Chain A
């Protein structure tokens, strides 16, 4: 039996941990150290990390800079604090330590979370980048992902459009999947899979991004997309501290498409003698009509304090964010409480925290963003009676203002995260940790389309209430053992068990046929009609059970070896592949510590490292996908003549696949971390990532298969790239400081295999359009040897004398068909990068951050659809349409595939810090102004080149209508905002 073998295997692993613990726990005489840490001016430094060299055991100084620690005799203590040079001293019963402000102010001594533990950055063997809260954007932060944008080499944070109710997508090193999400695993305070937006950006201390397999393999089947460890601000012992901050901001639409004005439209009609063209007599700029100047505000209050036994921190965060399209907004209230308590002679640490977020938001009907380009500029918003004017009898032609104002859409999201962590020191160096957490997220959407609205008319009014509740329980139990053998050998061992259960309950209720619009969405029962699919509910449940372990060895801080192993079992996997094994190993060499480099003055630090490992992605498998399932088939009703009624038919809803499993990513990473001239620190990495067992929905013959598609593990995807991160402290004097943060990454992505013996797919045409006149037109191909999001179609050669497109007739059959398709570029950026600078002069400070994607091709499908004079006079066109020499109808070709490279000024901020007296009640006071999205450098013709590049449905297709007819968040115009804010500390 597999399971038995597995149990034995895990037993062996745990015994190993246990035996190792005993073997290395040699008794040494202990001393208790009492000490104080100060800066060069003699000011006590609170929060300094005091640790035993080569292990993660240690403490931090209290508010008066004092610390107390019991260690073995002759232990070397390591003192580290952000912005100061680290120091090492031999432990004495009383110590007085002075730390020098570091010239580089860069924190090689930072402790980095690595999953089930932490390590000094200098001891890391894996590729991990971090962002500290002091680098976060100041101003409007609507999603926590945003603060990572442009900060981590190789991490694309894509915020398509400016909809405040929409988050961002993230993708590290090109992603590892075609069909599943490439969103990295988020670990908030040890809780896997928590929603990053459960935590307000103000409550985050730092985020560590685990990039290579040697770092992520400890997260097994969930680690392949990379891992983002979010460390929230911890309560600090000492004086009671109160932080208060707030901002107000003003935003407007940054980019729009220049359409014909009413007068330009009239001139066109006159010039072309279009007799019957309907001039409604008004002058309306429809883009302007649905835009608003948005005012947003946010406030944050945080308290913390405590003594050496117990500490607390509580925070409240309030945000009101209005979009630049009328009616659109997001209000968020966020609270977090964190209490820690020591017990049993300080051997037990209990850490409890509760976080809760309440969002109330109004998404818009994205159809209005299509109608605004269609509707004639002479059409008024209101008729003479003050009702919305609607010109019926034209397609996709509703009044955009009415579309937004008449449809009521009010949603709420609640996110709750409760974490309890128990950390018990069994013997010196050996800790048992229990981490129990609970996530409860719920969503509720209320919608009503009134009877007199164009959308509601079809149903005589349509109202619905939909929602879901997610309950996730996580229990993790592990042992962590730190040991030092002689002075030179450090060992860290971790081994544990994890149990995760995720349940999702969902429902939807709709009614149609309302006699009165009075009730809106609050009396659905008053609607008289419904379809059988209008009412549904259900529940899914999946579990992930894991055993994991890690061993690290460090010799003299020079040579480091680590290995991890995780065994994941998931209910979602097919019966033949219930358990997956994910090993990794890595080595690192701190070369600068070697004698032959000790004398090289300009080289302060140089570490080379290499790692290899396997990790998985199981996000592409929904619960129950491996089973043959039956159920009521929504929409498949049959007429039962005996009872003269419609009944729901039952039948198979999917094929079974007992071989279904995670997508496996094998990744090799070779990198180096360095510090030069005491001013520049940097990291360079090369990686080679091969994803096998790629999930893809294959077409299968039907019969014998019951269903026309099956989700199977077949293809391979390759990502190779190089990343460089540089942080420089150009100037660092008391008066003037200048820091530069720079990162750049190159990635090459390619589908290397799509077929195996059972399933074959040579090329799948994708990027399906449903634009008017473009039904069933494919614009992309999924093909071996090409990147996902590869554009495929006829090549544009020129415009002939009649204003018609000349396209390349590859097979020379005299007509342009699918057979004339060729490679037209792909939507994958070649380079991504970010540049940030921070300056301070006396009490003034300034900073900016830019980011960009380079080399990706985009299909400007919106432009393709609307830049066509044939749309006139009823539909509007852009100015550009009259200026091009085209008279032809819109056609898909390389003409509309454009360079999507861009560089955006993400924010620019100016601040002033007031002088505060040393013993004043006021510790810190700062005011600032911030401008966001100040400019965009691009050659792209559409509204904004930052659109979704993920997945397979429409990567790199800038289109105002999606194949599902749904919303494409990229079409919501991005805002340019200006904020003014202040922060105070008491």
Chain B
């Protein structure tokens, strides 16, 4: 028994011996990921990180810009609508509320738009931090950071445009949540950033934030300066437009939107897509009738959402090349036979639309971006954010506003000539207002343009909300909950 007892003494030591070894080591071993602070040391690694800033432009869940900024910009304007079509597209009434400017702060649409834009900013901030930490030379860092700050300025421009006064969060290391800056402060930040970097921006690179993109964005900022900060800056806008070089009008208007539109000489800033490797860009799939699968011989479904508000089609002259970007009348199969709605009536796109109880054919459709045989749900058309025609028309508008309509006329005429239409000898603001719709229909310009022309908060089709405070969107409820320094915009 004594021997037993002595032996017994050693037994508890077995686990203890193991304990002394690695058996209480709780460090995690990583395999296919890496701690964030250990990545981004070499130029090659930096390149993959910077690439993410551009990838982020395809946005939230990879679906930028549709669903989010797209609906808030297009449907709130007088261009587009998603009517409730029988069982389809009621979706809790959100599309009707956007049409009628009755959106609320807890609208999912507003939340995801806010999050998408700020997520982009956060990504860029963190990349800037990583670039600073890397072993690049000071010059390399400055050049890489110029592009990144350009992308960030683009995000802040969208925030300034849609939400007005928003928090300016520009330093990754600053972990404090921020209160809102005034819209003028946001404006000044974007302006100073763009001015500071534009000299260092690359002069070429498809899909990159180039020097031309920098000046174009600056011009867009100036043309809206009166709205954004109360001071018009028409001459500054003209000066910025004049700095945009190397681009010209594409001979054929619709060639800017081809499935393979990378050859366009007009597109300045685009988000590249490729149906086989990237997600996103299903703009066309969202707009057209279900039977378009047969009509266009695609392999994926269409969901019959967006269409034109009544009257949009009538704003085009009959031989306006830009009207070919719209689909009106009967939808035919390739063999010429009439395609039918699911209630048995023919698919026949009409100008008339009923917001609350539309048929499947209500509304004329946007087919600006090419539909190709064999197309999938997601398309290869690169999404155009800025093209040269915008630079031209911004300059023309600014000239008119400065009373130099004579100088504006030839510019407008050039844009219209490309569309096979004549231009009156005198172009005034009213003419410009309609011309901007014709040129940039469904390109997310209209809401901003309407506000600048003072025509956003006036009664229109299925819209009688005249509260000017609706010219900026509310801070989403979720953002208010996570940042107690935020104050809701007036009127919400």
| A residues with CB within 8 A of B | 3, 6-7, 10-11, 14-15, 17-18, 21-22, 27, 274-278, 392-395, 426-427, 430, 432, 457-460, 477, 479, 495-497, 499, 512-513, 529-532, 537-543, 545, 547, 569-573, 578, 623-624, 627-633, 635-642, 646-653, 656, 698-706, 708, 760-762, 765, 772-778, 815-819, 865, 868, 870-875, 889-892
Query: In the bound complex, do residue B481 and residue A760 qualify as a contact, i.e. CB atoms below 8 Å apart?
Result: yes
Query: In the bound complex, do residue B340 and residue A278 qualify as a contact, i.e. CB atoms below 8 Å apart?
Result: yes
Q: A460-B299, A636-B52, A650-B52 are in contact. List 13 more A-B contacts (CB 8 A).
A: A14-B16, A15-B12, A430-B8, A512-B276, A571-B26, A572-B28, A629-B30, A630-B35, A640-B47, A647-B47, A705-B122, A818-B104, A871-B87
Q: Report chain B residues within 8 Å CB of A706.
A: 36, 122-123, 126
* CB nearest neighbor in A for B15: A497
Query: In the bound complex, do residue B343 and residue A651 qualify as a contact, i.e. CB atoms below 8 Å apart?
Result: no
A427, A633, A704, A777: the one within 8 Å of B174 (CB): A704
Q: Report chain A residues within 8 Å CB of B52.
A: 633, 636, 638, 649-651
Query: In the bound complex, do residue B23 and residue A545 qualify as a contact, i.e. CB atoms below 8 Å apart?
Result: yes
A17, A868, A892: the one within 8 Å of B12 (CB): A17
B39, B56, B344: the one within 8 Å of A275 (CB): B344
Query: In the bound complex, do residue B122 and residue A702 qualify as a contact, i.e. CB atoms below 8 Å apart?
Result: yes
B287 to chain A, nearest CB (A): 14
A6, A426, A460, A512: the one within 8 Å of B11 (CB): A426
B294, B342, B479: the one within 8 Å of A701 (CB): B479
Query: In the bound complex, do residue B24 and residue A545 qualify as a contact, i.e. CB atoms below 8 Å apart?
Result: yes
The reply on B84 being an interface residue by CB < 8 A is yes
Query: In the bound complex, do residue B92 and residue A701 qualify as a contact, i.e. CB atoms below 8 Å apart?
Result: no
* CB nearest neighbor in A for B102: A815
* CB nearest neighbor in A for B116: A708
* CB nearest neighbor in B for A460: B299
Interface segment, one of B72-80, B201-209, B438-446: B201-209
Lowest 5 CB-CB distances: which A-B pairs, in order?
Answer: A276-B344, A874-B342, A538-B32, A638-B51, A649-B52
Enumerate B38-87 residues with CB–CB distance to A below 8 Å.
38-40, 45, 47-49, 51-52, 54-56, 58, 62, 84, 86-87
* CB nearest neighbor in A for B345: A276
Give the complex CA separation of A926 and B106 in angstroms. 65
User: Taking A392-B294, A627-B28, A889-B84 as contacts, is the C-beta distance between A762 and B481 under 8 angstroms?
Assistant: yes
* CB nearest neighbor in A for B270: A639
The reply on B293 being an interface residue by CB < 8 A is yes
B250 to chain A, nearest CB (A): 19
A30 to chain B, nearest CB (A): 12
Query: In the bound complex, do residue B276 and residue A529 qualify as a contact, i.e. CB atoms below 8 Å apart?
Result: yes
**Of residues B301, B303, B340, B346, which shows the largest number of chain A Cβ atoms within 10 Å of its Cβ?**
B301
Q: Report chain A residues within 8 Å CB of B207.
A: 638-639, 641
* Interface SS of chain A: mixed
Query: In the bound complex, do residue B343 and residue A633 qualify as a contact, i.e. CB atoms below 8 Å apart?
Result: no
Q: Report chain A residues within 8 Å CB of B292.
A: 393
Q: List 25 A-B contacts (CB under 8 A).
A: A6-B24, A14-B15, A17-B12, A18-B9, A458-B299, A497-B15, A530-B276, A531-B276, A539-B32, A540-B31, A545-B26, A623-B28, A629-B34, A629-B35, A647-B51, A649-B49, A649-B52, A649-B54, A650-B51, A704-B169, A818-B92, A818-B104, A868-B87, A871-B87, A889-B90
The reply on B400 being an interface residue by CB < 8 A is no
Give the complex CA separation of A875 and B344 in angstroms. 12
Q: Report chain A residues within 8 Å CB of B176.
A: 704
Query: In the bound complex, do residue A635 and residue B62 qualify as a contact, i.e. CB atoms below 8 Å apart?
Result: yes
Query: In the bound complex, do residue B14 and residue A774 qualify as a contact, i.e. CB atoms below 8 Å apart?
Result: no
Give the complex CA separation of A277 and B341 in angstroms. 9
User: Taking A14-B12, A638-B51 as contacts, is the C-beta distance between A703 and B299 under 8 angstroms?
Assistant: no
Q: Report chain B residues within 8 Å CB of A573.
A: 26
Query: In the bound complex, do residue A427 and residue B4 qualify as a contact, i.e. CB atoms below 8 Å apart?
Result: yes
A623, A637, A700, A816: the one within 8 Å of B278 (CB): A637
Query: In the bound complex, do residue B39 and residue A703 qualify as a contact, i.e. CB atoms below 8 Å apart?
Result: no
Query: In the bound complex, do residue A21 and residue B36 qualify as a contact, i.e. CB atoms below 8 Å apart?
Result: no
* CB nearest neighbor in B for A499: B23
Give the complex CA separation of A240 and B350 in angstroms. 85
The reply on B189 being an interface residue by CB < 8 A is no
Query: In the bound complex, do residue B11 and residue A703 qualify as a contact, i.e. CB atoms below 8 Å apart?
Result: no
Give the complex CA separation of A631 and B36 in angstroms. 8
* CB nearest neighbor in B for A456: B299
Query: In the bound complex, do residue A703 and residue B169 qualify as a contact, i.e. CB atoms below 8 Å apart?
Result: yes
Q: Report chain B residues within 8 Å CB of A569.
A: 24, 26
Query: In the bound complex, do residue A274 and residue B28 qualify as a contact, i.e. CB atoms below 8 Å apart?
Result: no
B332 to chain A, nearest CB (A): 12
Give the complex CA separation of A920 and B123 in angstroms. 80
Give the complex CA separation of A15 and B293 in angstroms. 77
Enumerate B113-172 residues with CB–CB distance to A below 8 Å.
115, 118-119, 121-123, 125-127, 169, 172
Give the complex CA separation of A815 and B356 in angstroms. 13
Query: In the bound complex, do residue B205 and residue A650 qualify as a contact, i.e. CB atoms below 8 Å apart?
Result: no
Query: In the bound complex, do residue A653 and residue B90 qualify as a contact, i.e. CB atoms below 8 Å apart?
Result: no
* CB nearest neighbor in B for A872: B343
* CB nearest neighbor in B for A505: B31
Q: Report chain B residues within 8 Å CB of A700.
A: 482
Give the complex CA separation of A573 and B27 in angstroms. 10
Q: Report chain A residues within 8 Å CB of B15.
A: 10, 14, 477, 496-497, 547
Query: In the bound complex, do residue A817 and residue B26 qualify as a contact, i.e. CB atoms below 8 Å apart?
Result: no
Enumerate B97-113 residues with CB–CB distance to A below 8 Å.
97, 102, 104, 106, 108-109
Query: In the bound complex, do residue B93 and residue A817 qualify as a contact, i.e. CB atoms below 8 Å apart?
Result: yes
Query: In the bound complex, do residue A651 and residue B340 qualify as a contact, i.e. CB atoms below 8 Å apart?
Result: no
B430 to chain A, nearest CB (A): 35
A766 to chain B, nearest CB (A): 12
Give the complex CA separation of A540 and B29 in angstroms. 8
* CB nearest neighbor in B for A653: B33
Query: In the bound complex, do residue B104 and residue A651 qualify as a contact, i.e. CB atoms below 8 Å apart?
Result: no
Query: In the bound complex, do residue B278 and residue A635 qualify as a contact, i.e. CB atoms below 8 Å apart?
Result: yes
Q: Report chain A residues within 8 Å CB of B11.
A: 18, 426, 432, 479
Query: In the bound complex, do residue A701 and residue B91 qualify as a contact, i.e. CB atoms below 8 Å apart?
Result: no
User: Taking A704-B176, A773-B91, A777-B92 as contacts, is the C-beta distance between A652 and B126 under 8 angstroms?
Assistant: yes
* CB nearest neighbor in A for B1: A27
The reply on B459 being an interface residue by CB < 8 A is no
Give the complex CA separation of A477 and B16 in angstroms. 11
B224 to chain A, nearest CB (A): 25
Q: Report chain A residues within 8 Å CB of B54.
A: 638-639, 649
A624, A641, A703: the one within 8 Å of B208 (CB): A641
Query: In the bound complex, do residue B32 and residue A816 qualify as a contact, i.e. CB atoms below 8 Å apart?
Result: no
**Of residues B33, B86, B376, which shows the largest number of chain A Cβ atoms within 10 Å of its Cβ?**
B33
Q: Report chain B residues within 8 Å CB of A871.
A: 86-87
Give the complex CA separation of A571 and B24 in angstroms. 10
The reply on B478 being an interface residue by CB < 8 A is yes
User: Taking A639-B272, A650-B45 as contacts, is the C-beta distance between A541 and B34 under 8 angstroms?
Assistant: no
* CB nearest neighbor in B for A645: B277
Q: Report chain A residues within 8 Å CB of B84.
A: 773, 889
Query: In the bound complex, do residue B55 and residue A776 qualify as a contact, i.e. CB atoms below 8 Å apart?
Result: no
* CB nearest neighbor in B for A655: B36
The reply on B196 being an interface residue by CB < 8 A is no
A3, A578, A765, A870: the one within 8 Å of B86 (CB): A870
Q: Report chain B residues within 8 Å CB of A631.
A: 32-34
The reply on B274 being an interface residue by CB < 8 A is yes
Query: In the bound complex, do residue B342 and residue A274 qualify as a contact, i.e. CB atoms below 8 Å apart?
Result: no
The reply on B88 being an interface residue by CB < 8 A is yes
User: Taking A638-B55, A776-B92, A870-B86 as contacts, is the C-beta distance between A624 and B345 under 8 angstroms?
Assistant: no
Mask of B376-401 contacts with A, CB within 8 angstroms, 1/0 = 11000000000000000000000000
Give the complex CA separation of A702 and B177 in angstroms. 9
Q: Report chain A residues within 8 Å CB of B482.
A: 698-701, 760
Q: Report chain B residues within 8 Å CB of A636.
A: 52, 55-56, 58, 62
Give the complex CA separation of A649 and B24 in angstroms. 37
Enumerate B406-445 residues with CB–CB distance to A below 8 Å.
none
Query: In the bound complex, do residue A635 and residue B279 qualify as a contact, i.e. CB atoms below 8 Å apart?
Result: yes
A648, A773, A817: the one within 8 Å of B104 (CB): A817
Give the complex CA separation of A639 and B125 in angstroms. 20
Give the complex CA separation of A630 and B8 in angstroms. 50
